[in-house]
Structure 1
Amino acid sequence: MLFSSLFFIFIFLPVSLAAYYLLPRKWRNLCLFVFSLVFYAWGEPVYVFLMLFTAVFDYAVGTLLERFAGRPGPRRAVLAFGICVNLGMLAYFKYAALFVSTVNSAFSLSIPVPAAALPIGISFYTFESLSYAIDIYRGEAPAQKSLIDFGTYVSFFPHLISGPIIQYKEMQAQLRGRTESMEHVTEGALRFLHGLFKKVLLANNLALIADKVQYFGHPSALSAWLGALAFTFQIYFDFSGYTDMAIGLGRMFGFILPENFNLPYSSRSASDFWRRWHMTLGRWFRDYLYIPLGGNRCSTVKLVRNLAVVWVLTGFWHGSSWNFAVWGAYWGFLIICEKLFLQKWLDRIPVFFQWLYAFLAAVVGWVFFSYTDLRAACGVVAAMFGFSGGTDSLGVYALITGAPILLLAALFCTPYPARLLGWLDRKGRTGLALRSAGMTVLFLLSIAALVDNSYNPFLYFRF
């Protein structure tokens, strides 16, 4: 079930909110747990049991870790077993087919390829369950006493299929101590509408351009740039829009979910980009992998190793094909270069060129992200930089029809829309009236688009 669907907006969400606020406070986590299971089972009726197994298993791991307090040996064994089971399930469902196919191809073998479908959101809820066990092991959070409360943390539908990735230590206090109010519901609804606009009116229309260019096969330089730019903006508004909706939904139920984006296309370096893009994923890898490996408090050789490991795994986290590993290695290479020497040079050039470098790095990176065929991705990059014809009729048509939405998308990647909202907030009743009218128009346009058009993809479903 998509947040940007008529059924969710007009049936599932109102019913779940009404049930939540009509029940006594002590039953509200159970209410969320039940509605989250229904939400997940709507698209994954079989794999809801896998998610339930994950919740029950990691709840037991947390209980054992607390029971073995003061006994380092058993605690390490329990943690290792919990990590292996969680990563083992993720590896089987997400990566087994890729690795078996690769081995078959490399060694001319015929090992049966696993045919298991990818459970929606498994990468997100697996990482969140892992954070629970690790936080307890480190003494940063107590074990959860209630299975229902822990199940609510794992399955909470606002962040179940797209994040933000919430570490348990950030969430555990809110499972029992959050505050609900009509003001929070209103704030959450406005944030949800912001995300709906970004997803439906921007990302979905940008997807039409990006998908059209991919069908060209061997694009000209113009078509290649149009496709790359359209996907660059599409994936931002697709993911950040969905994250806005998730944060807004969480606020409606009294939860404060962490921010996940901070104007990433305003970055001035690759490192800065990843401090602004999918921030909760970056923080997860930093806290649970990069720092335990030694972080940057080590020799240069180990620093390079740590960054390489983190970024290849970051790439692989996104998908079960080799282009994601290449995409992760690409970002790792840029960040390693910045750590070793490039950042000193960047600091000496004008800000515009710092931004241009970071933005072009992102655009080229998204080509490798969007094409599972690496040869096709290399062909697109080659066309972008002049190793192909300059223009073609299809590219000119795509430019003429797609220029308005591309310019609008570029505008909404800047700080100016947020500044406009801040200005309206300072205008008192007049600003409130203008903002309310604007949000009403955007909501009606978004609903009209959903009614009129069934094309409503969500990129992060596959992750």
Structure 2
Amino acid sequence: MAQIGLFSSAFFTLLAIIFCFIFRRQAWIALLCSSLLTLGLFMPVSFGVLLVGTTITYFLGNKSQNSSKIGVGIGILLGALVSYKLREIWMDSRSLSLDDFWNEDKPWQIIGLSFFVFNAISYLMDIKRGYIKSTDSIFKLAAYLLYFPTLYAGPLHRFNYLNEQFDQAKITKKSFNNGMRLILWGLFKNFVVAQRLNQLQIELRQSDIGGWWTLLIGFIFFFYLYFSFSSFVDFFQGVSEIFNVRLKDNFHKRVYLSRNRHEFWRGWHITLNEWFRDYFFYWQMKFKFWRDKPYILLLLTYLLIGIWHGITVKFFIWGFLNACWILLEKRWKIPERMEKNNSYKFLEIGYHLLICSLLALVFIFPSLEGLFIRIGKPNFLPMDVFLFQKRNVVIILAMCFMVDQYHRWSKDLRMDAYFESLPSWKRRLLYLPLILSIIFFGVFMKGMDNYYLKF
């Protein structure tokens, strides 16, 4: 599916460029047509399901402000998402593996369902709250809900934000250059770093590593997850930027060096957390019952974030542990204390990475029983894995250092804006290591890898 994603992205981009010359004054039509054709050709099942969902959202939201029809629409959308998420329970009952289920030749995959449903719900709820008026054009709504880059990789956006972006869509020299810069950055992070980290964590999981050394798997997986998901967002931000449509950022640059869990969640999967904050937590806080119990509501919010990943016991526990971590930090005022004192910054980063590695194990092991068995084994670090993978380890360390250095140089600027701000000679000097690294150190066997596609 990753290979299809990379090829379909190139197809969408080329198609949209061609259509933009046809629909010069209304480039959003070019983006809509390109999205529909790409989805229909490469993901026909997803296309059919999402097209039905778009039609339902339009008719239930259109001119239905403060109507019960909007509640019906939200219920239908959530029901479809929950039913699809229950597939893992169905697979367990038939002894099917997740890998078999997600093989690209399986017809029941629905790519982008979570992003679609959350965007559709935000549209309906914003109508109900009176923040926006329903659109009279189903094509405008379809452009918002079925826009290929956001459907495939996120981030989540509100209707007005993307609709305004579409109205300004056009290809310029600046937008094309900035888009290509982000695409280069995303390809580098994915092929050179993420996939090598994935190879290493797979080797360790298949080894006899045991005891507390098992945390090393969680540590490596955490960085793999960051590079895999953030590189996809970078890549599709670049694809979208070509058409002067600026997608939101979904990660703070150095979120992997967070000093506490509050800082981490402010910079990780930002738009998903904002969605749960705006459309669940704040929505419930208007009721007196929850205003008196904010910590319980916070716990419930993180439980929902957990089971969004999958309606299973392990994801429920993962969400529960995240909530407990946040609540304990609030109770002991850890974020405030850390902000006042930077003397122990490295220890604080280590503290966060240690517990983060443990939570990552809950996230990735097929069952909690298997995880407890692995941790219960005698402490053992299989050095033969690192000797066998020594070239891979050296490349990973060097490339992670290079990414972090680029992040430090760019500070608060997005990478395309940072490159644009540099003199041309310096810009080309920074392009060179990225291009050479992709050529000589890239891993291309599985195409572009995004672990989060399964959610």
TM range (shorter): 0.7 to 0.9
Cα pair distance change 1:395/1:300, threshold 3 Å: farther
Structure 2 match to 1:430: 425
CA offsets, 1:296-337, max 9 Å, x none? 999896122111111011011122433222211111110111
Give aligned-pair identity as a percent.
23
Moved more, 422-431 or 130-139: 422-431
Match of 2:372, as an amino acid? C
**Match for residue 458 of structure 1 among 435, 450, 453:** 450
Give the whole-Å Cα distance in 2 for the aligned partners of 1:234 and 1:345.
Answer: 30
Question: Could you tell me which residue of structure 2 aligns to residue 371 of structure 1?
Answer: 365
SS at match of 2:62: helix
Q: In structure 2, do the counterparts of structure 1 residues 18 and 283 end up closer, same or farther at CA, with 3 Å as the change threshold?
A: same
Output the TM-score relative to the length of structure 2: 0.85
What's the RMSD between the two structures over aligned residues? 3.1
Q: Which moved more, 1:12-21 or 1:132-141?
A: 12-21
Report the equivalent of 2:7: 7
Using the TM superposition, give the Cα deviation of residue 98 of structure 1 relative to its aligned residue in structure 2, in angstroms. 2.1
Q: Tell me, which stretches of 5 or more residues in structure 2 are unaligned?
A: 94-105, 412-417
d(CA) in 1 for partners of 2:300 and 2:155?
Answer: 22
Pair 325,432 (structure 1): closer, same or farther in 2 beyond 3 Å: same
Normalized against structure 1, the TM-score is what? 0.84
Change (3 A) 1:7 1:455: closer
Q: Match of 1:291, SS?
A: helix
- Give the Cα separation in 2 of the matches to 1:412 and 1:277: 21
Structure 1: how far apart are the matches of 2:72 and 2:351? 44
Residues 24 and 300 of structure 1: CA distance in aligned 2, closer, same or farther (over 3 Å): closer
| Alignment match, 1:181 | 172
Shifted more, 138-147 versus 22-31: the winner is 22-31
Unpaired stretches in structure 1, ≥5 consecutive residues: 67-71, 103-114
Quote the residue 1:418 is aligned against: 407
Aligned residue in 2 for 1:328: 319
* Cα distance in structure 1, aligned partners of 2:309 and 2:146: 20
| Partner SS state of residue 257, structure 1 | coil
| Alignment partner of 1:197 out of 171, 188, 193 | 188
Deviations 1:27-47 (A, max 9, x none): 533332232233334443223
Tell me whether 1:23 sits opposite 2:22 in the alignment.
yes
Q: Which residues of 2 match residues 33-432 of structure 1 at below 5 A?
A: 33-66=32-65, 72=66, 75=67, 77-95=68-86, 98=89, 117-216=108-207, 218-221=208-211, 224-262=214-252, 263-294=254-285, 302-343=293-334, 350-380=344-374, 382=375, 388-397=378-387, 400-408=390-398, 410-411=400-401, 414=404, 416-420=405-409, 428-432=423-427
Q: Taking structure 1 as reference, are residues 412 and 441 closer, same or farther at Cα in structure 2, changes over 3 Å only?
A: closer
Tell me the distance in 2 between the aligned counterparts of 1:45 and 1:411.
41
CA distance, structure 1, for counterparts of residue 448 and residue 212 of structure 2: 26
- The equivalent residue for 1:107 is none
In 1, the alpha carbon distance for the partners of 2:41 and 2:311 equals: 24
Query: How big is the shift at 1:400?
Result: 3.3
In the alignment, the residues of structure 2 paired with residue 338 and residue 8 of structure 1 have an alpha-carbon distance, to the nearest angstrom, of 44
Per-residue CA distance 1:264-297 (angstroms, 9 max, x = gap): 1121111110100000001101100111122899
The size of the alignment, in residue pairs, is 433
- Is the Cα–Cα contact under 8 Å of residues 57 and 73 in structure 2 kept in the other structure? yes
The higher-RCO structure (CA 8 Å, 6+ apart) is 2
